[in-house]
Structure 1
Amino acid sequence: MTAPVAAPDAELTGRRVEELLDRLAGQGDAATVSTAEELVRVLMDFYGAGLTRVMQLVERRTGDAGPRAALLGDALVSSLLVLHDLHPEDAATRIDRALASARSQDAVTVEEFVPETGALRLLESASGGCGCGGGADRSAVEGALSCFAPEVTSVGWETRAVAPEPPLLQISRRPPTVAPAT
């Protein structure tokens, strides 16, 4: 049995492709740059067609949502589906999925998403002083958003202080007292 291969990070891969194309544009002639960009487009079309087929086969051959849900819940597969405009979920659903994958669904809520600009405003609940740390791992949230909802181009964070819970009121019998002296 072979060990599972570590999946490349979609955000880092996208950045690397951009860096390589920029470097080629800075060093190469216009024809070479055009050929490199066309190569990227041809490969994107090829992989997009393959992913389309995968999604069609999963939907057609399985009667349950298990395989489909597993594909949509995987950050790498999800980012590829979005990249090829094949993801069946809308942006709001994928943003929620990103927050859940970063284990921040309790600490972070979506305040507003503007699809035209890609601006997302998140509301983070600050710790209520319970000593449990509270809050969200912002870099994990932003990384998950880049995979599940790459149309989010900027993230604004707002923090709402959560009032500490009042101390627990213990109601019990009165402690025994010393008998009065006679």
Structure 2
Amino acid sequence: MSAPTTAPATAPAPATAPAAETTGRRVEEILDRLTDGDTDAGAAAEELVRALMDFYGAGLTRILQLLGEDRQPALLGDELVASLLVLHDLHPENVTTRIGRALDTLRPQHPAEIVGFDAASGVLRLRSPASGGCGCPSTTQAAQQAIENALSCFAPEVTSVRLETPGPEPTLLQISRRPPTAATTS
């Protein structure tokens, strides 16, 4: 009799990761439902969320320590991991670097350069280069929405985005010599 053969184990296919912004909204909606009419249940639900956040934050801290600084950069480009690190105040990059990382994820569809960031108000000012598009307000709105979505994962400190678009090109004023046929009279 021969030994039974077993099929090699395969790793399960990765599940689609939930977006940080969507998950945050969902948690808020559930907490609102729990607090609707019952303040004790709402307080208990909020305490439960805080306890879980503390637990997961401690676990993420330990993971980062075990990985060491040389292996952390591989994690920082992942939107889900980056949003978890930011949520727990563990992201090793400063806000300006994270804003740049978020904007990099949108190029070349929505290029934008940083004009300034006011940490006190959370307002990020960006300049959009002249576009080859139609210049429609809907195009600008789509770009702004894409930028805000990317920033919500990488830099939630940004609470408002002001997208500046360049004005019309200045009229070219051509200066040249008088045509040779023009006669001057004295």
State TM-score, norm by structure 1: 0.77
Which of 22, 25, 30 pairs up with 1:15?
Answer: 25
What is the root-mean-square deviation in Å for CA atoms of aligned residues? 2.6
CA drift at 1:138? 2.9
Using the alignment, how far apart are the partners of 2:74 and 2:105 within structure 1?
13
Quote the residue 1:118 is aligned against: 122
Using the alignment, how far apart are the partners of 1:105 and 1:91 within structure 2?
23
Preserved CA contact (<8 Å) 1:128 1:162: no
Quote the residue 2:61 is aligned against: 52
Sequence identity of aligned pairs in percent? 59
Equivalent residues in 2 for 1:117-156, closer than 5 Å: 117-127=121-131, 137-156=143-162
Q: Which runs of 5+ in 1 are unaligned?
A: 164-182
Q: Return closer, same or farther for 1:106/1:157 CA change in 2, 3 Å cut-off.
A: closer
Quote the residue 1:158 is aligned against: 164
CA drift at 1:161? 4.8
Q: Which of the pair has more CA radius of gyration?
A: 2
CA drift at 1:89? 0.6
Using the alignment, how far apart are the partners of 2:125 and 2:104 within structure 1?
16
Preserved CA contact (<8 Å) 1:127 1:161: no
- Confirm whether residue 89 of structure 1 aligns to residue 103 of structure 2: no
Using the alignment, how far apart are the partners of 2:24 and 2:123 within structure 1?
20
Q: Return closer, same or farther for 1:124/1:158 CA change in 2, 3 Å cut-off.
A: same
Q: Which runs of 5+ in 2 are unaligned?
A: 1-9, 134-138, 170-186
State TM-score, norm by structure 2: 0.75
Preserved CA contact (<8 Å) 2:111 2:129: yes
Using the alignment, how far apart are the partners of 2:106 and 2:88 within structure 1?
23
Q: Return closer, same or farther for 1:159/1:143 CA change in 2, 3 Å cut-off.
A: same
Using the alignment, how far apart are the partners of 1:18 and 1:74 within structure 2?
24
Which of 100, 107, 120 pairs up with 2:104?
Answer: 100
- Confirm whether residue 41 of structure 1 aligns to residue 47 of structure 2: no
Preserved CA contact (<8 Å) 1:48 1:84: yes
Task: Give the 3-state SS of the residue equivalent to 2:72 in structure 1.
Answer: helix
Using the alignment, how far apart are the partners of 2:13 and 2:108 within structure 1?
30
Instruction: After superposition, give the CA deviation of every residue in 1:122-175 in whole Å (9 maximum; x if it has no partner).
Output: 11112257xxxx988332221110000011111111101585xxxxxxxxxxxx
Preserved CA contact (<8 Å) 1:104 1:141: no
Letter in 1 for 2:35: A
